Chain A
Amino acid sequence: MNTPPIEQTLVYLDPVSPNTERKLFVPAVSELAGKRIAFVNNGWLSFTRIGEHMATVLERRFGIASFTTYAIPTSCAPPEGLLAQIASEADAAIVGMAN
């Protein structure tokens, strides 16, 4: 595309906010053996079934230490403090089905 001469342009302001909120960050695990896995379940039947399947696969094939389910409300943010609690009690978490 040809760039128009500057007198045929205008300058507008970016409407997007940079996200300056500090997010909870947990380093990725390099392997799953011996790790504590959190399953953050919003109660959808499909997700519950996926969780049951994942627990079996992770325990049998990858030798995880534990698989713990945490319940969160459907269609709402998790209760305050829960994510930090999960981060302290688990090494990795399954948080959604991406469906």
Chain B
Amino acid sequence: MTVLVSNRIRAPRDMRAVFDDMERRGFTDGLPVIPPTEERVHEMLDYVGMAPDELIAVVPPEGGPATAEKVAINAVMAGCRPEYMPVVVAAVRAVTQPQFNLLGIQTTTNPVAPVLVVNGPVRERIGIHSRRGCLGPGFRANATIGRALRLVMLNIGGCPPGDVDKAIHGMPGKFTFCFGELEEESPWPSLHEEQGFRKEQSTVTAFGGQGTQNLYAAMLDPEHIVHMLADGMRVYGNNGYLRAVGSPLVIMSPGHARIFADHGWDKARLRVELFERTKIPRAYIPSAPQLSKPVYSDYPPEAMCQLCNAPEDIRIVVAGGPEAYHITYVPSFGTTVPTTAEIAVVVA
């Protein structure tokens, strides 16, 4: 058995007492955790066949090394089964890509959190839920994979909430935000296929999302649905408008997706419609100086302010219950680019 190098901490065996101990040390997100005993950590590492000292990433803001051992410890704490570990590793790799801007996301006053979208066969294999209720609560893989990433960001990145993490309010999605795309009921190419991956490959894509906005768009034709959706996205208080950058994420039910597809709309058309319809005239936005100067500050009144740089930056995924009732919109943090990492296949 390989040697694990992390410090050993002795604590009472009682479940509540060990949670109290770990909470007091600042190791948790406020919720109870599974004590990461040597045996449990070895289970994680043995499943993925990684050496404990294999470096997965360096995590800002403190630049802590996310070795396989440390990631496994935090995955155990989150409640992950060993078979979730490949997804956690891929998620850590995705969010630490420079273009994701994890340093900014970790330390901002904004409530942004990584939003993980999982594609491919891994979903069925380990139970990543993509159907009704997929954003939570209730599904262990969804809940604990997202949570493992948060604990990595906290413990390895050195970013305690309310301290180095400067989020003014925070957001429930900062506990966990992970779901699968319902590829089987989407009339369109999946998120990962759009990026050049094959359907049979498994990936995790990380977005920097500010939270969720529910839009009740229970219409039956694309024109009215897109009108309602764009109206809900056209909020100049969202970061995207500040710099006209970012990747807004639209999570659409299979029912809504079928309505669009049955009327000949593909994702490209939907993106263009949303991009154009979410533009806001400069005159609509208060002209008072803002503490952080927006890109549109000096625009003439008739100029249009944009949610993002281009239509293709708007990402659309299909997930959730089948009814064409609700759409979930995830506004983007702005200065972040979605990043995708392939999930390693573990041969049993």
Tally A-B pairs: CB < 8 A.
Answer: 112
Chain A CB within 8 A of B169 CB: no
Interface positions, chain B 325-344, Cβ under 8 Å from A, are: 333-335
- In B168-191, the 8 Å CB interface with A consists of none
A6 to B8, CA, bound (A): 14
CB-CB nearest in chain B for A49 = B291
Q: Is A31 an interface residue (CB 8 A)?
A: no
Q: Is A16 an interface residue (CB 8 A)?
A: yes
Across the interface, A13 reaches (CB within 8 A) one of B4, B60, B66, B103, namely B4
Total interface residues on A, CB under 8 Å, equals 26
- Name the contact of A15 in the complex, choosing from B13, B36, B289, B335 (C-beta under 8 A): B36
Binds A, one of B67-75, B228-236, B300-308: B67-75
Measured CA separation A67–B310 after assembly (Å) = 39
Chain A positions within 8 Å of B13 at CB level: 4, 8-10
Q: Are B9 and A19 in contact (CB under 8 A)?
A: no
Interface residues of B, count at CB 8 A: 50
Shortest A4–chain B CB gap in Å is: 5
Shortest beta-carbon distance from B302 to chain A in Å: 25
State A4–B9 Cα separation when bound (angstroms): 14
User: B69 to chain A: which residues have CB within 8 Å?
Assistant: 13
Decide yes or no whether B50 CB sits under 8 A from chain A. Answer: no
Q: In whole angstroms, what is the CA distance A37 to B77 when docked? A: 45
Residue B156 at the chain A interface, CB threshold 8 Å: yes
Interface of A is mostly: loop
CA of A23 to CA of B61 in the docked complex: distance in angstroms? 12
Residues on A with C-beta less than 8 A from B9 are: 11-14
B contact residues around A45 at 8 Å (CB)? 289-293
Given A19-B62, A45-B293, A73-B335, also A9-B8 (CB < 8 A): no
In-complex Cβ contact of B104 among A4, A11, A75 (8 A)? A75
Known: A10-B12, A13-B6, A19-B64. 4 other contacts (CB 8 A): A12-B35, A17-B155, A19-B63, A45-B293
**A/B interface sample: 21 pairs, CB < 8 A:** A10-B10, A10-B12, A10-B13, A10-B18, A10-B35, A11-B37, A12-B22, A13-B6, A13-B37, A13-B41, A13-B69, A15-B155, A16-B155, A19-B62, A43-B293, A44-B292, A45-B293, A75-B101, A75-B104, A75-B333, A76-B103
